[in-house]
């Protein structure tokens, strides 16, 4: 039984670890999205200040060009993280299912052990009652 308890603890640890990983990736995606929104605001501000909104224009602000590039890099990184997030969620689901299987096996074994113990106790009580009835009649 001790090995099953160890296995359950291991599976719980794996589930918790996967949950942390999912939360971490979700946090990174949210942070990248926030940074992209901030960059978008800065780009618009720079375009308004310069009065030029066409990046192909020869006098388009250099800062706005750099900010557009950073925003695109953040978007690509966020998209890559979304793929990792899907994989992490799949791994979390799998780890959770494995944990539930082990817990169900443990519960079934405990139920069987309780039933065996109850049967042993009943057999002992029956033997005691049979012994008393023999001494009373004999």
- Domain 2-137 fold is Helix Hairpins (1.10.287)
pLDDT in tens, the chain (138 residues): 578 889 899 999 999 999 999 999 999 999 999 999 999 999 999 999 999 999 999 999 999 999 999 999 999 999 999 999 999 999 999 999 999 999 999 899 888 889 899 889 998 888 887 877 777 665
Angle at 62 between CA 59 and CA 67, to 5 degrees: 135
Token digits for 108? Answer: 């079934």
Query: Which of 80, 47, 77 has its CA nearest to residue 65?
Result: 47
Do the beta carbons of residue 22 and residue 92 sit within 8 Å?
yes
Q: How is residue 138 annotated by DSSP?
A: -
This prediction's pTM = 0.73
CA atoms of 46 and 55, how far apart (whole Å): 12
Nearest to 99 by CA among 3, 1, 13, 2: 13
> Residue with structure tokens 């998209």?
79
Backbone angles phi, psi at 97, to 5 degrees: -65, -40
For the chain, what are the domain ranges?
2-137
């Amino acid at each position: 039984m001790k090995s099953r308890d160890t296995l359950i603890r291991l599976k719980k640890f794996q589930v918790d670890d996967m949950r942390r990983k999912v939360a971490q990736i979700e946090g990174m995606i949210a942070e990248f999205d926030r940074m992209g929104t901030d960059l978008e605001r800065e780009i618009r501000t720079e375009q308004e200040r310069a009065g030029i909104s066409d990046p192909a224009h020869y006098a388009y602000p250099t800062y706005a060009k750099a900010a557009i590039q950073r925003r695109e890099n953040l978007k690509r990184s966020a998209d890559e993280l979304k793929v990792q997030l899907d994989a992490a969620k799949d791994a979390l689901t799998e780890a959770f299912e494995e944990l539930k299987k082990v817990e169900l096996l443990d519960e079934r074994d405990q139920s069987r052990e309780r039933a065996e113990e109850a049967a042993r106790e009943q057999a002992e009580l029956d033997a005691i009652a049979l012994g008393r009835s023999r001494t009373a009649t004999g």
